[in-house]
Structure 1
Amino acid sequence: MRVQVAGRQMDVGEALKSRIQTELEAGVSKYFNRATDAVVTVAKNGGGVGVAVDCAVHLSSGISLQTHGHGGDAHSAFDDAMTKLEKRVRRYKRRLRNHHAEHKNPLPAEDAQAYVLAPFDEDDEPVGTAAEAKVNGDATGPLVIAETTVPVRTMTVSMAVMQLDLAENPAVLFRNAAHGGLNLVYRRADGNVGWIDPERVNGASG
């Protein structure tokens, strides 16, 4: 498994890099033998107090594991991230192993363009520059401040809910394996998971 370790606004020493690479690979290989790569980012918390560690692990099946750890130093922050990661993997251990064994190839995926939009300020004006407004094609905003490409995978609803939890995402957009339509699962404010399926309305009206 390829493990990339990077520091953001701080230096990451070779001893810490070696520890992260060794322990992350050992922890993941206890459950999966075909993890492809992992990216770990070590950064100072806002205000310069404490350290945050973000871990993202990509399995060959297409499932992603992601967790965030915090601590007084980089080592304790990584410990926190690993504890959360292993706890989450143990919760889905049986389903993950079954899925990992059945899917030798990654889940079918298509690329979608994703954008980061600037918020409006207190005067209801978009925050950003004229150049950003031009890129967005709408001078009234919201303004596009970043863009990237993300995969939209084909999976079952239960798999999407599992991915929502494993990757600590607020939402997962996916193609429903049952009918091929776009679906969305998301975290609700009450702690439950919401599921949006336009095909159910379209099918009922048709």
Structure 2
Amino acid sequence: MNVEITGRHVVITPAIRSYVLKRLRKFAKIFGDDISFHVIIDVQKERQTAEILLKTKLLDLTGKGRTDDMYNSILVAIEKIERQALKHKGKIIEGKRQRAKSKSVAVKSGIAQVSPVTLAARKNNGILEEEAQRKPMEVEEAVLELNHSDYPFIVFRNADSGAVNVLYRRKDGSIGLIRP
């Protein structure tokens, strides 16, 4: 954890430095030790401002606090960064849960033979590509799969003909089938 404290129009006392270091230790639990902080403390007349910049490999966060008391300004800035950090961490955890859930649903239903190599999502020029190894299925099986999924269509290999077919939901609620 690297902390740089800059004072503008104020001398950084050991008390302020230890207060800042004590409050910033909790971020090491969230992000690990590979983080750096730049704390800017500014005093102008009756305004006391603390701005904290947190940098990690994945993201940069900024929090600014402005009150009459320097310690309260530091606390407000740290609380803002903490909210941002927890929000970011929640998004990461939720994304992992969604990916795990989609893999387990595919495996339980027997639709896809999923392995880390075959199920991948890539973004190329704004286009999201998903690959999944699918077993051949009958049209009736594909209809059941479409009814159980949230997707508007399903692409499958027809077990009878061996051709790739597309089953889709129409706007009127019925189901359409595209055969080559």
Higher relative contact order (CA 8 A, sep 6+): 1
TM-score, normalised via structure 2 length: 0.49
Normalised TM-score (structure 1):
0.43
Larger radius of gyration: 2
